[in-house]
A and B are shown apart, each in its own frame.
Chain A
Amino acid sequence: MLARQFDALLSAADADGGVDFDGLRVARDDDGGYTFATPEHEATNLSESELHAHADGSPYVTDWYFWEREVQRHDSPRRAFLRHAEAADDHDAAARYDALADGMVTEWGQLRIEATLADAGDGVGSADGSRRYDVRHVDDADRAVEDLETYDDPLDARELAKHDDDGMYRPLKTGTNMPTGWAFHDLNWRDAVETVETLYPATVANWYRERQGRLDIDHWTDTTDRQTGIYGIVSELPREAVEWVAEAACDDSQCVKRREWQYDEGDELAADGGTGAFPCREPCSLVIAAARKWTKLEEEEPREYTFRLTPSEKEQIEGVIDAVADGRVDEIREADVYEDANRYRTRYLRAKLFDDHGNLGGVATEPEDGHGDHED
């Protein structure tokens, strides 16, 4: 306990009502003595120096100081998130201090957030109850911090998370392709929250609203009905196709948010919403932009085409679509011709089945054209 922490405790004890926080009670009694109470013991009628002796080394005191004099801001998302990160509403300070000594881990999407007590070092650090945080990819859980690219400015996360491990731009921050190999290490509480909010914007705010039972959800129809300009047409997408949108885009394999929006109030989508730690409160801009394309595609009338395929060729086409949809194409080895989406297998299929205009089976897309050059 630092001198300023005891001074703060003393003035809080002297103030109206004293301290009553997370199991710690400190108050000035009518007779002028102090009461110091924790879940483990209670002492009354203490002099100031006796109070100091009780407070010194007590996790309850430095815990009180951390939450009430540093983090402050009751009823704020960031305070709730930090308390969540050490399960502060479930365990008392003594238990948490034991756990924090080893590190308490929270997963948030693909993030692993570890809270610890500040490094013991010369003994002063560990005594003041301040927390330190490490934020990294869950896949890097077991890697030594020295093996990772380390950062200390939360805003660096903007550039860091812009590309996936293959260098491709990530338009969706909550996509499941968060890059690996980095750590925001030894952050204070303020920077820890900022880092999480930079990597996954607004997730803390929406998670907090949900916990309070006041998450404002805009369902599919709410979101599409308010669109204008080139997105105005999205509200015309058939309900059945909205199921496919959710299945395609809002799956745990694609996004770490948990979909809370439905087709409409009281009209739930059958597609699973996922298991993410934080909620998705409306179709995102990526989904709306894709749905614009799908709306146009769904306006087309189906036609009957006749192809002659061997059973294996039909299965190969199905396998290629699966591989692309699941993002497995890059994993398929060059010589693994047993894989449907193997490049040589696919080139063979194209060489055999496509005519000079790129028509599958020589069948024109537009029957009247005689050929169907692909146009987008």
Chain B
Amino acid sequence: MSQALVIVAHGSHLNPGSSAPTYDHADTIRAAGAFDEVRTGFWKEEPSLREVLRTCEADEVYVVPMFISEGYFTEQVIPRELRLDGWDVADWDSDGLSADVATYTAEDTGQTVHYCGPVGTHESMTDVLVRRAESVTEDPDVGDGFGFAVVGHGTERNENSAKAIEYHAERVRETGRFEEVQALYMDEEPEVDDVTDYFESEDVVVVPLFVSDGFHTQEDIPEDMGLTDDYRDGYDVPAAVDGHRIWYAGAVGTESLMADVVLERAADAGADVSAAIESVRETTRVAPGADD
């Protein structure tokens, strides 16, 4: 019985970089060899969610959504487009953070689909946020004297989005590694615009909990925080803002350790990937600067 991994993501009609992290993580997992096939499918690119399952020959498919939160896409769009027969969000039995897996048959292909919760709400995502701080500072021991901000979109579009931000901010806080940890938002209080108001620490790492770099993470947030007046001019890392040094990390989804979260999701759903998790950790475990 062959098994496939399908990573599903939003993609974009306008931004060519949107799908890049998904491809990168798929490549890392493919190289680990735990799945007979590793495929990617998109809402806005091809293969579409509608057709991605038919690009796999495997009978058993683990689908992991590259989305940050539970909500419209993970609960309505993806199950509908994948034609999961009898999909009922109640099968996830989730409070907005705890979806793990529900198993269905795809109507058009007959494949058994283990539909996993999104990467963004998995507990191991916290590790990726911290790793992102290590990557951007090029310091594997970053923490002392540093503040840490997790940035989310906000509640305007999705109430569960804030839950995921709060959840990971709290988990980072519990590690005790950083001096201060704060959840900030683009569209609600506390706003990322006022990032320096929320930190005593001179150094602050800012990590957006977004899957890919795009309009929000590359244009809005850097300008809102005052890193630059015009995103096209770029910005320094760190950049001086109101007496603080802001280490802006860009979207967490571009961090290579994200491949590990995808595999954890599949493992939680019953995929036999323990050897691959070890192998992927081996390739993603080192933050830049760690071996300098």
| Interface check A71, CB cutoff 8 A | no
**Minimum distance in angstroms from A225 CB to a CB of chain B:** 11
**Minimum distance in angstroms from A45 CB to a CB of chain B:** 42
Bound-complex Cα distance A171 to B48 (A): 12
**Minimum distance in angstroms from B208 CB to a CB of chain A:** 22
| Interface check A169, CB cutoff 8 A | yes
- Beta-carbon contact of A201 and B50 below 8 Å: no
| Interface check A337, CB cutoff 8 A | no
| Interface check A226, CB cutoff 8 A | yes
A158 / chain B contacts, CB cutoff of 8 Å:
19, 23
**Minimum distance in angstroms from B43 CB to a CB of chain A:** 7
| Interface check A310, CB cutoff 8 A | no
Main secondary structure of the interface of A (DSSP, over half): loop
User: 4 more A-B contacts (CB under 8 A) besides A155-B23, A202-B46, A202-B51?
Assistant: A174-B46, A201-B47, A201-B51, A202-B55
- Beta-carbon contact of A285 and B54 below 8 Å: no
Given contacts A158-B23, A202-B46, A229-B72, contact A289 B13 (CB under 8 A): yes
**Minimum distance in angstroms from B253 CB to a CB of chain A:** 17
Given contacts A171-B45, A285-B44, contact A76 B12 (CB under 8 A): no
| Interface check A270, CB cutoff 8 A | no
Bound-complex Cα distance A126 to B219 (A): 56
Contact of B43 among A216, A228, A285 (CB under 8 A): A285
Contact of B14 among A169, A206, A209, A218 (CB under 8 A): A169
**Minimum distance in angstroms from A157 CB to a CB of chain B:** 11
B57 / chain A contacts, CB cutoff of 8 Å:
73, 76
Bound-complex Cα distance A209 to B52 (A): 14
| Interface check B237, CB cutoff 8 A | no
Bound-complex Cα distance A218 to B72 (A): 23
A162 / chain B contacts, CB cutoff of 8 Å:
16
Contact of B52 among A171, A202, A218 (CB under 8 A): A202
Most buried by A among B12, B48, B72: B48
- Chain B, residue nearest A205 (CB): B54
List CB contacts (< 8 Å) of A164-186 with chain B: 169, 171-174
| Interface check A92, CB cutoff 8 A | no
| Interface check A286, CB cutoff 8 A | yes
Given contacts A202-B46, A229-B72, contact A155 B27 (CB under 8 A): yes
B89 / chain A contacts, CB cutoff of 8 Å:
none
Contact of A228 among B15, B54, B77 (CB under 8 A): B77
Given contacts A201-B47, A205-B51, A205-B54, contact A226 B80 (CB under 8 A): yes
- Beta-carbon contact of A169 and B46 below 8 Å: no
| Interface check A284, CB cutoff 8 A | yes
| Interface check A197, CB cutoff 8 A | yes
| Interface check B274, CB cutoff 8 A | no
Main secondary structure of the interface of B (DSSP, over half): loop
Bound-complex Cα distance A201 to B41 (A): 10
- Chain A, residue nearest B56 (CB): A205
26 residue pairs of the A-B complex, CB under 8 angstroms, read A73-B57, A155-B23, A162-B16, A169-B14, A169-B15, A171-B12, A171-B14, A171-B45, A173-B45, A173-B46, A197-B55, A201-B47, A201-B51, A201-B52, A201-B55, A202-B46, A202-B47, A202-B48, A202-B55, A205-B51, A205-B54, A209-B54, A226-B80, A228-B77, A229-B76, A284-B48
Bound-complex Cα distance A234 to B44 (A): 16
| Interface check B108, CB cutoff 8 A | yes
| Interface check A128, CB cutoff 8 A | no
Contact with B along A106-136 (1 / 0, CB 8 A): 0000000000000000000000000000000
Bound-complex Cα distance A205 to B57 (A): 10
- Beta-carbon contact of A206 and B77 below 8 Å: no
B12 / chain A contacts, CB cutoff of 8 Å:
171
Residues of B within 8 A of A (CB): 12-16, 19, 23, 27, 43-48, 50-52, 54-55, 57, 72, 76-77, 80, 108
- Beta-carbon contact of B54 and A206 below 8 Å: yes
Bound-complex Cα distance A154 to B57 (A): 18
List CB contacts (< 8 Å) of A141-165 with chain B: 155, 158, 162-163
- Chain A, residue nearest B41 (CB): A201
- Chain A, residue nearest B42 (CB): A285
Bound-complex Cα distance A364 to B87 (A): 52
B15 / chain A contacts, CB cutoff of 8 Å:
169
Bound-complex Cα distance A171 to B46 (A): 9
**Minimum distance in angstroms from A86 CB to a CB of chain B:** 22
- Beta-carbon contact of A286 and B13 below 8 Å: yes
A286 / chain B contacts, CB cutoff of 8 Å:
13
**Minimum distance in angstroms from B53 CB to a CB of chain A:** 9
Bound-complex Cα distance A341 to B55 (A): 43
- Beta-carbon contact of A201 and B14 below 8 Å: no
| Interface check A282, CB cutoff 8 A | yes
A216 / chain B contacts, CB cutoff of 8 Å:
108
**Minimum distance in angstroms from A285 CB to a CB of chain B:** 5
**Minimum distance in angstroms from A252 CB to a CB of chain B:** 19
Contact of A202 among B14, B54, B80 (CB under 8 A): B54
B52 / chain A contacts, CB cutoff of 8 Å:
201-202
- Beta-carbon contact of B72 and A285 below 8 Å: no
**Minimum distance in angstroms from A173 CB to a CB of chain B:** 5
- Beta-carbon contact of B16 and A169 below 8 Å: yes
- Chain A, residue nearest B50 (CB): A282
Bound-complex Cα distance A169 to B13 (A): 8
The 7 nearest A-B residue pairs measured at CB: A201-B47, A202-B51, A171-B13, A169-B16, A205-B54, A201-B46, A202-B47
- Chain B, residue nearest A231 (CB): B77
Contact of A205 among B23, B55, B77 (CB under 8 A): B55
B51 / chain A contacts, CB cutoff of 8 Å:
201-202, 205-206, 281
